[in-house]
């Protein structure tokens, strides 16, 4: 439930049991803002009421199967869902910031050539609580971890699970939910056009990142089959129409998309929609036959010379299975990839 829906349900519950209205606020706080693992641990509520709450409502948890910690402070979590599926989250410290990279689907149907998640196939969409619950679990750690930034850059394509991502965004941002500022929440997409439109219609200033990875249709189709459905020109047009600044994500693949010509082509696309470019070193754990580029610094300089703002993402978690989907595949294996249109659980806005 969104915090507003939870407040209403709790108010109705306590009124039915002749309890004061402030009880609803007490419980609401312990759902997200200052979470407790269960109703039994909400010590501000009388025990009898806690038992009643437990008989009517459920506060589900994600089960931590494994947590890997890198020497650079990066932590990767493998969570098991109630039906046995598994997802990943990655916590990345950077000064005062703690960014949590979260998943929106169990697996992914898009089969991008360089992504370990694509190797496992697609299972299902995550429910809203399973998405926002990844942040909630950080607050339930001992000691708790304060997440300052959230990026939808884990397993799955968030804009193909819009119904649940839409609700999760509310939970993440609401002051009575997890209270993460909208400008500190980034939704990353390969360019699912209806979802970009839906995100733009929300009043909050959520950020948009688009996985470009190739500056031409021909190359992008080879790397990202979704480009057949959503061609690069249409994606750039959608980025131009988004009313907030857009980031282009571009993973550097040695000898594939890292030439001077590619840099000039990418610069032209970025200038069309005033996009910021984030160059991403390939994590060897998710390489799937590709090699890391040795030309990243030169590529960045060429973009800058062309008048484009650019940053090179620092490689993190190189000593752990931090590539997207890598830990899930290593521990639980994969399944035959399934095309997006062959699975009824895909929800496009």
Question: Which positions are annotated as active-site residues?
Answer: 88, 324
Which stretches of the chain are assigned E, i.e. beta strand? 63-69, 75-80, 86-94, 97-101, 105-107, 122-125, 149-152, 185-189, 207-211, 246-252, 276-281, 310-312
What do you get for the CA distance between the two ends of the chain, in Å?
A: 20
Question: Is residue 82 within 8 Å of 60, Cβ to Cβ?
Answer: yes
Task: Kindly provide the residue ranges of all beta strands, DSSP E only, lying in 212-285, ordered along the sequence.
Answer: 246-252, 276-281
Task: Output the six-digit token pair for 202.
Answer: 């929300």
The conformation of residue 37, written as its DSSP 8-state character, comes to S
Closest CA to 173 of 206, 140, 128, 124: 206
């Amino acid at each position: 439930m969104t915090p507003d829906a939870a407040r209403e349900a709790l108010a109705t519950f306590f009124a039915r049991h002749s309890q004061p209205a402030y009880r609803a606020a007490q419980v609401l706080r312990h759902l997200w803002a200052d979470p407790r693992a269960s109703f039994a641990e909400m010590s501000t509520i009388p025990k009898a009421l806690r038992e009643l709450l437990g008989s009517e409502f459920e506060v589900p948890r994600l089960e931590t199967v494994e947590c890997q910690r890198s020497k650079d402070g990066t932590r990767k979590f493998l969570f098991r869902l109630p039906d046995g599926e598994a997802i990943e989250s990655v916590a990345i410290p950077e000064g005062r910031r703690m960014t949590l990279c979260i998943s929106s689907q169990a697996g992914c149907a898009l089969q991008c050539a360089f992504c370990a998640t694509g190797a496992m196939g697609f299972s299902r969409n995550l429910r809203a609580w399973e998405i926002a619950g990844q942040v909630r679990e950080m607050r339930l750690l001992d000691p708790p971890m304060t997440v300052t930034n959230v990026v939808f850059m884990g397993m799955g394509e968030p804009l193909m699970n819009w119904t649940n991502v839409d609700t999760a965004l509310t939970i993440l941002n609401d002051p009575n939910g997890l209270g993460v500022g909208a400008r500190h929440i980034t939704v990353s997409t390969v360019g699912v056009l209806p979802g970009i439109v839906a995100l733009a219609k929300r009043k909050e200033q959520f950020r948009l990142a688009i996985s470009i990875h190739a500056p031409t249709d021909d190359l992008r189709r080879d790397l990202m089959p979704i480009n057949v459905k959503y061609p690069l020109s249409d994606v750039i047009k959608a980025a131009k129409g988004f009313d907030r600044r857009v980031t282009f994500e571009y993973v550097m693949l040695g000898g594939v998309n890292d030439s001077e010509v590619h840099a000039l082509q990418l610069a032209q696309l970025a200038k069309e929609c005033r996009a910021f470019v984030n160059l991403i070193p390939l994590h060897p754990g998710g390489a799937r036959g590709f090699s890391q580029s040795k030309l990243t610094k030169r590529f960045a300089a060429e973009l800058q010379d062309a008048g484009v703002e650019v940053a090179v993402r620092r490689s993190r978690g190189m000593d752990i299975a931090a590539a997207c989907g890598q830990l899930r595949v290593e521990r639980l294996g994969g399944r035959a990839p399934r095309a997006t249109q062959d699975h009824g659980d895909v929800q496009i806005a």
